[in-house]
C-alpha cells in the first residue's frame, strides 16, 4: 500500500504527523521521498522504508524539508489549475479505484475485482475516518492545451448524500472547495453527480447566490450531458419514453424534443410538475408532452430514455428491440437480451490531451462523464457565466457545437 502511495505523485501525508511522532518519518515512504530519488539519483534508494537509507547513509538530507514544503504549502507552490472537476466516491469498492491506492488498478476502468474484496473492511474504516475528519483532496490531473485540469474529491460516498442529517456537512465541503478554487484563481469548477443534486443545493444555485462575487465559474455541466443524450437519438424518431422526466435533465430533454415535434411520454406521478414543464414549451408544441404514470404506457415505444433507475421487472415492459438511453448513475442492469443499452453520457477528450494516468470510474482512459466534459468546454471557451440551476434549453446546441469544435467526441455507439 505504501509503495503504491509513493508512486501516486500526490502528497497526502501531513508533515505535522512527522512533527508529532518524529520516528514515523523513518517508517513511512512518501511521494516526496520517492521524487527526490529520481531528481538526484544518488540517494533515497530504499523505496519502502527510509530507515534503511538512514542506516546506510544514503538518506537525502533535503527529504524532510521538501516534504514539509509540499505538505504545508501546496496551495502556494503548486501550479494553479484552470479547471477543477469536483467528484465524490460512489461506494466502498469504487472508492479504492484511485491512483494513490493503486496506479495499475486506476489505469483501468473500474469494475468489481475479487482480489480487492478483502480490502472492503479497510475501505469502510477509511470512510468512517473521512466522515469524522477530512477535507476535499486531489485525485488526478491532466493537461489540455497548456491548461491544467484537476479532479478533486469531496470526502463522502454516494449513500451519504441520501442521509438527511448529512446534507449540511456535504454542502459545507462543496462550498469550501469552491471558495478554495476561487482563492487559488481557478477559472471553472464543475460539480459531479450528487454534488449538484437539486434537493441538496439546487444544482449549485445555493453557492452562487450565497457568494455573488465569485470569480470562479460554477458549472453543473448538464447542458452538455443533455446534448450528448439528445444526439444519440435518431433524427427520424417520433416518440420516446422518458423516466426521471421532471428532473433537471429530464425537463431539458423533454422541452428540446417537443420542439422537434417528438412525442414525449413523461413518466411522473406529479401532475403539477408535469404541467409546469409543459407550460415552458411553445404553445404549439405542448401537445407533444404527455404525462404517463405507469411503465405499461411505453409497451409500444422502442426508445426509452432512463433518468431514474429501473428494475429488470420494469424493463420487461419495453418491447423487443427497444433501446435504453440513460443518464442515471449507477447504470441500469443490462437485463434484456433482446434490447440494446446505451452508455452513460460521456465524451472522449481531444487527442492532444496529456498526462492521463487513470480512468474516470467505469470509463476508458481518455473518456470522461459528460458533465466533466461540459466544465472543460466552459473553460476552453472562456465563458464567464455560471451554469447552475435549470438547464437553458436554448444553449444545448451551442454547447454541443463548442464541444465538437474543441475536438471532444461522443463515445456512445448510438450517437448519430
19 in a domain, yes or no? yes
**Domain of residue 335, residue span:** 224-346
User: Does any domain span residue 157?
Assistant: no
Q: How large is the C-alpha radius of gyration of the chain? A: 24
The whole-number pLDDT of residue 414 equals 47
> Residue 73: what pLDDT?
58
Q: Which of 73, 90, 123 is the last residue before a domain boundary?
A: 73
- Most confidently modeled range among 17-26, 172-181, 303-312, 339-348: 172-181
- For residue 55, being part of any structural domain is answered with yes
Instruction: Indicate whether 2 pLDDT > 80.
Output: no
User: Is residue 45 predicted with pLDDT exceeding 80?
Assistant: no
State residue 40's pLDDT score.
Answer: 67
- Mean pLDDT (the chain, rounded): 90
- Domain count across the chain: 2
- Does residue 190 fall inside a structural domain? no
292 is a domain residue: yes
d(CA 331, CA 412): 14
Q: Model-level pTM?
A: 0.81
Mean pLDDT for 219-238 is 94
Q: What is the percent of the chain with per-residue pLDDT over 70, rounded to a whole number? A: 93
DSSP annotation string for 238-280: -EEEESSTTSHHHHHHHHHHHHTT-EEEEE-S-HHHHHHHHHH
Domain endpoint, select from 288, 315, 346? 346
What pLDDT does 49 receive? 80
Summarize pLDDT for 88-132 with one digit per residue, the tens: 999 999 989 988 888 889 999 998 899 889 999 999 999 999 999
Q: Is residue 183 part of a domain?
A: no
Residue 18 contacts residue 59 (beta carbons within 8 Å):
no
161 contact partners, CB below 8 Å, separation of at least 6: 88, 167, 170, 194, 197, 200
For the cut 80, the answer to whether the pLDDT of residue 34 exceeds it is no
pLDDT value, residue 188: 98
Nearest to 415 by CA among 193, 218, 167, 234: 234
56 lies in some domain: yes
Which of 73, 88, 104 is a domain's end point? 73
For residue range 306-332, what is the model confidence (pLDDT) as tens digits?
Answer: 999 899 999 999 999 999 999 887 788
- Domain assignment present for residue 140? The answer is no
- Residue 242's domain is classified under what CATH number? 3.40.50.720
Amino acid at each position: 500500500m505504501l509503495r503504491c502511495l509513493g508512486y501516486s505523485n500526490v502528497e497526502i501525508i501531513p508533515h505535522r504527523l512527522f512533527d508529532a511522532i518524529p520516528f514515523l518519518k523513518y517508517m513511512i515512504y512518501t511521494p516526496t521521498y520517492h521524487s527526490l530519488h529520481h531528481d538526484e539519483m544518488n540517494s533515497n534508494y530504499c523505496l519502502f522504508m527510509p530507515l534503511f537509507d538512514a542506516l546506510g547513509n544514503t538518506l537525502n538530507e533535503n527529504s524532510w524539508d521538501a516534504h514539509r514544503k509540499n505538505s504545508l504549502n501546496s496551495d502556494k507552490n503548486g501550479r494553479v489549475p484552470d479547471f477543477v472537476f469536483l467528484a465524490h466516491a460512489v461506494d466502498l469498492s469504487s472508492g479504492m479505484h484511485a491512483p494513490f491506492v493503486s496506479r495499475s488498478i486506476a489505469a483501468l476502468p473500474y469494475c468489481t475485482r475479487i482480489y480487492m474484496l478483502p480490502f472492503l473492511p479497510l475501505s469502510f474504516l477509511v470512510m468512517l475516518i473521512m466522515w469524522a475528519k477530512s477535507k476535499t483532496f486531489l485525485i488526478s490531473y491532466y493537461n489540455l492545451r497548456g491548461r491544467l485540469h484537476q479532479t478533486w474529491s469531496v470526502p463522502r460516498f454516494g449513500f451519504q448524500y441520501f442521509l438527511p442529517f448529512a446534507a449540511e456537512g456535504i454542502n459545507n465541503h462543496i462550498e469550501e472547495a469552491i471558495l478554495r478554487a476561487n482563492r487559488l484563481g481557478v477559472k471553472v469548477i464543475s460539480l459531479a453527480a450528487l454534488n449538484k443534486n437539486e434537493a441538496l443545493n439546487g444544482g449549485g444555485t445555493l453557492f452562487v447566490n450565497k457568494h455573488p462575487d465569485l470569480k470562479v465559474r460554477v458549472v453543473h455541466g448538464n447542458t452538455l450531458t443533455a446534448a450528448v443524450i439528445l444526439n444519440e437519438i435518431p433524427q427520424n424518431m417520433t416518440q420516446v419514453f422518458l423516466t426521471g422526466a421532471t428532473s433537471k435533465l429530464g425537463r431539458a430533454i423533454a422541452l428540446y424534443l417537443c420542439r422537434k415535434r417528438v412525442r414525449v411520454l413523461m413518466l411522473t406521478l406529479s401532475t403539477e410538475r408535469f404541467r409546469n414543464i409543459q407550460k415552458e414549451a411553445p404553445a404549439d408544441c405542448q401537445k407533444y408532452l404527455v404525462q404517463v404514470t405507469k411503465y405499461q404506457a411505453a409497451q409500444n415505444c422502442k426508445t426509452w430514455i432512463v433518468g431514474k433507475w429501473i428494475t429488470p421487472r420494469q424493463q420487461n415492459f419495453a418491447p423487443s428491440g427497444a433501446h435504453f438511453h440513460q443518464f442515471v448513475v449507477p447504470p441500469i442492469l443490462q437485463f434484456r437480451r433482446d434490447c440494446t443499452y446505451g452508455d452513460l453520457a460521456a465524451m472522449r477528450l481531444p487527442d492532444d490531451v496529456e498526462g492521463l494516468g487513470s480512468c474516470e470510474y467505469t470509463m476508458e482512459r481518455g473518456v470522461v462523464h459528460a458533465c466533466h466534459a461540459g466544465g472543460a468546454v466552459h473553460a476552453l471557451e472562456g465563458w464567464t457565466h455560471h451554469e447552475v440551476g435549470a438547464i437553458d434549453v436554448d444553449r444545448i446546441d451551442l454547447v454541443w457545437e463548442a464541444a465538437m469544435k474543441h475536438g471532444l467526441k461522443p463515445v456512445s455507439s448510438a450517437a448519430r
